[in-house]
Amino acid sequence: MNGESKTVVLGFDALDFEYLDAFEDDLPNFGRLRSEGVAAPLCSTHPPWTGSAWPSMYTGTDPTHHNAFAFFDYTDTYPDDAAIVTRNDVTAPALWNYLTAIDEPSIVLNVPVTHPAEPLSGALVPGYLASEDVEGYPPDIRRELSDALGEKYTVYSEGEMSSDKEAKLDGYVELVGLRERAARYLLENWNWRVAVVQVQKTDAVFHNFDDPAAFRRVYRAADELVGTVLETAEDANVVVCSDHGMGRIDGYKLFVNEVLREHGFVKATGDGDDHGTGLSVVKESLVNPGERTDDEAERNLSQTALSRTVAGLDAVGVTPGSVYAAAQRVGAGSLLKRALPANVLAAAERTVDWRRSAAYCRALGELGVRINLEGRDPDGVVPESEYEAVRSEIIELLSALRTPEGEPVFKFVKRFEEVSNGDDPLSGPDVVFMPAKMNHLVLPSLVGKRFLPVDEYNHKPNGVFIGAGPAFDGTAELDDLSLTDVAPVAMAAAGLPVPERMTGTVPEGLLTVPVSEREYADVEYGTGGESGDEGRVKSRLEDLGYL
């Protein structure tokens, strides 16, 4: 290490203080950072999901500035034509772009939504949402890592899509170990001022398991990575952050487009060809067994039985939508999705007619309603003169929505500008909401029901911030921070001026070093390169329950 200040940002998807506390006996390195530094809840941006939150972290801005609101890019299009979001769709510089502009090197290891890799001073390996064969920057960096580590350096685990739970969990832990070894190599052998290393499996384990022992095992692997970084970059400042929290939700699945349809905002169609309503988005991968590892005979047997059941019920007036709703109630929704043939899948959901609808929710997790506005959206149907009236009506409608027990569904329903720093929704929702206690899962599907019970692990709005090292005041007391504060904190801790363009800030009293700002004019970011195999990415999103 030379005499200049450095910062390592360790991003753990969905890391939550609840589990850091529960597993603390197995997490000595997280414990060391918490005892030596400062820790506080980290408020995610709206919405608190991977596709929008990690860009918020690395740009220091919220989605109304960087324009990534979900796993799909909705700029100038509708959900049926939307593509998987990439770095090229994030319309703001990342912290490594600012460093490159002042000739300071960075290391970026597997941060989500960084594909295709952009030129920078330093090294970048893309992370989640990229295809497995994606190149990094420089283009031979993955080969260099593979050669140095003596094994192929991968973005995803060996058992990523396996139905064998043991193999899947083993793969998660092995992948965290691979990140650990790659981080050591890059920190030791490349020049860097700020490094960002991300681990996704602290999120994935909760989406695919319901077992505290599995959670503990992945957290233990994450702790070992922390220990390796502390040993390798012993004089550096360390920031631990997560894009959101994680916890059990046991409220309801809310099919918000059913509510909007009942009040005339959503128009339905039966074509089943869109990308935004649950099952239909992954029909192709579900009925194409090319990447599936299920036992073929068992899958065919289930498919036959369920197909006959649906056909028989339909003959006596029970619709496929009702069958889907019943399957969800008894926990068979996943089996239904995996087993039904394409024609039944298409019938099992009505879909939103995006172009004829006045307003709609586009995707799981977006937590908002987009108005189909004339002059802004390609086939807008709501005149600009009616925009505010429609927003008000939707806010009033959803604010009054109650669960079957009579409890409010939402903590708040607001205009987007009331929860963001932007004055234009760009491609995002015009009305935003937050489920009460984040205990309901909002889905865009049309299945003939407003509510169905849910009991699973999912995202919570508060993640983790831990800051330790020479630049941090370990006695600082903070109520909370925003995810957009991470990038300015990381740069300031490294002795670098914070870009004025960032909307995040460095909380007063957090650092012991001076904090300054500068303009950073003409910062280049992004690339026009290809993003990879979108079909496989969708399969991975489905594996985690995001689609």
Task: Give 379-399 pLDDT, tens digit per residue.
Answer: 999 999 999 999 999 999 999
Decide if 1 is inside a domain: no
Q: Is-cis flag, bond preceding 138, omega within 30? A: yes
Tokens of 474: 């370990």
306 vs 113, higher pLDDT: 113
Task: Sort residue 117 into left (φ over 0), alpha (ψ -120 to 50) or beta.
Answer: beta
If asked whether residues 272 and 290 sit together in one domain, one would say no
Q: What pLDDT was estimated at residue 3?
A: 61
- The range of the structural domain enclosing residue 427 comes to 251-277+351-454
Tokens of 392: 């008000």
If asked whether residues 201 and 258 sit together in one domain, one would say no
Q: CA 276, CA 363: separation in Å to the nearest integer?
A: 6
Angle between helical axes of 165-189 and 201-208 (0-180°, round to 10)? 170
Coil, helix or strand at residue 121 = coil
Q: pTM for this structure?
A: 0.84
Residue whose entry in the numeric block shows the structure tokens 């009460």: 436
Q: CA 324, CA 375: separation in Å to the nearest integer?
A: 37
Banded model confidence at residue 373, pLDDT cuts 50, 70, 90: very high
Decide if 295 is inside a domain: yes
Single out the residue in 426, 454, 482 at which a domain terminates: 454
Single out the residue in 407, 425, 454 at which a domain terminates: 454
Q: What pLDDT was estimated at residue 37?
A: 96
Decide if 100 is inside a domain: yes
Burial 219-256 (b: 16+ CB within 10 A, else e): bebbbbbbbbbbebbeebbbbbbbbbbbbebebbbbbb
**Average pLDDT estimate for 319-346:** 45
In contact, 85 and 74? CB cutoff 8 Å:
no
Both ends of the chain: CA-CA distance in Å?
Answer: 44
If asked whether residues 103 and 38 sit together in one domain, one would say yes
If asked whether residues 150 and 99 sit together in one domain, one would say yes
Decide if 204 is inside a domain: yes
In contact, 335 and 324? CB cutoff 8 Å:
no
Decide if pLDDT at 292 tops 50: no
**Average pLDDT estimate for 527-544:** 49
Single out the residue in 435, 454, 473 at which a domain terminates: 454
Q: How many CA atoms lie within 13 A of 402 on its CB side?
A: 5
Q: Is-cis flag, bond preceding 453, omega within 30? A: no
Decide if 2 is inside a domain: no
If asked whether residues 399 and 268 sit together in one domain, one would say yes
Q: CA 321, CA 319: separation in Å to the nearest integer?
A: 5
Structure confidence by residue, pLDDT tens digits, 338-371: 444 444 444 445 789 999 999 999 988 789 999 9
Tokens of 390: 């429609």
Tokens of 29: 């390195």
The DSSP result for 165-198, as a single string, is: HHHHHHHHHHHHHHHHHHHHHHHHHS--SEEEEE
Q: CA 318, CA 3: separation in Å to the nearest integer?
A: 72
Coil, helix or strand at residue 467 = strand
Dihedral pair phi/psi, residue 106, rounded to 5°? -130, 160
Coil, helix or strand at residue 23 = coil
In contact, 136 and 165? CB cutoff 8 Å:
no
Tokens of 217: 């095992």
Tokens of 267: 């128009």
If asked whether residues 271 and 285 sit together in one domain, one would say no
Banded model confidence at residue 194, pLDDT cuts 50, 70, 90: very high
Dihedral pair phi/psi, residue 380, rounded to 5°? -55, 140
Residue whose entry in the numeric block shows the structure tokens 């952009």: 118
If asked whether residues 69 and 163 sit together in one domain, one would say yes
Tokens of 298: 């068992």
Q: What pLDDT was estimated at residue 271?
A: 43
Q: What pLDDT was estimated at residue 545?
A: 52
If asked whether residues 54 and 131 sit together in one domain, one would say yes
Decide if 213 is inside a domain: yes
- Strand duo 359-360 + 368-371: pairing: antiparallel
Decide if 361 is inside a domain: yes
Q: What pLDDT was estimated at residue 528?
A: 55
Banded model confidence at residue 423, pLDDT cuts 50, 70, 90: confident
If asked whether residues 202 and 344 sit together in one domain, one would say no
Dihedral pair phi/psi, residue 276, rounded to 5°? -120, 15
Q: Mean pLDDT score of the chain, rounded to an integer? A: 85
Q: CA 493, CA 495: separation in Å to the nearest integer?
A: 5
Q: What pLDDT was estimated at residue 270?
A: 64
In contact, 96 and 194? CB cutoff 8 Å:
yes
326 vs 235, higher pLDDT: 235
323 vs 155, higher pLDDT: 155
Radius of gyration of the chain (CA): 23
Q: What is the CATH number of the domain that holds 67?
A: 3.40.720.10
Of the listed ranges 89-93, 144-148, 158-162, 428-432, the one predicted with least confidence? 158-162
If asked whether residues 18 and 123 sit together in one domain, one would say yes
Angle between helical axes of 50-59 and 486-493 (0-180°, round to 10)? 30
Decide if pLDDT at 281 tops 50: no
Structure confidence by residue, pLDDT tens digits, 6-55: 999 999 999 999 999 999 999 999 999 999 999 999 999 998 988 999 99
If asked whether residues 38 and 99 sit together in one domain, one would say yes
Coil, helix or strand at residue 532 = coil
Structure confidence by residue, pLDDT tens digits, 113-146: 999 999 999 999 999 989 999 999 999 999 999 9
In contact, 37 and 225? CB cutoff 8 Å:
no
Q: CA 110, CA 166: separation in Å to the nearest integer?
A: 24
Q: What share of the chain is helix, strand, coil (3-state, %, to 5)?
A: 40, 20, 45
Q: CA 153, CA 142: separation in Å to the nearest integer?
A: 6
Q: CA 183, CA 522: separation in Å to the nearest integer?
A: 30
State how many domains the chain has.
3
In contact, 188 and 100? CB cutoff 8 Å:
no
If asked whether residues 309 and 449 sit together in one domain, one would say no
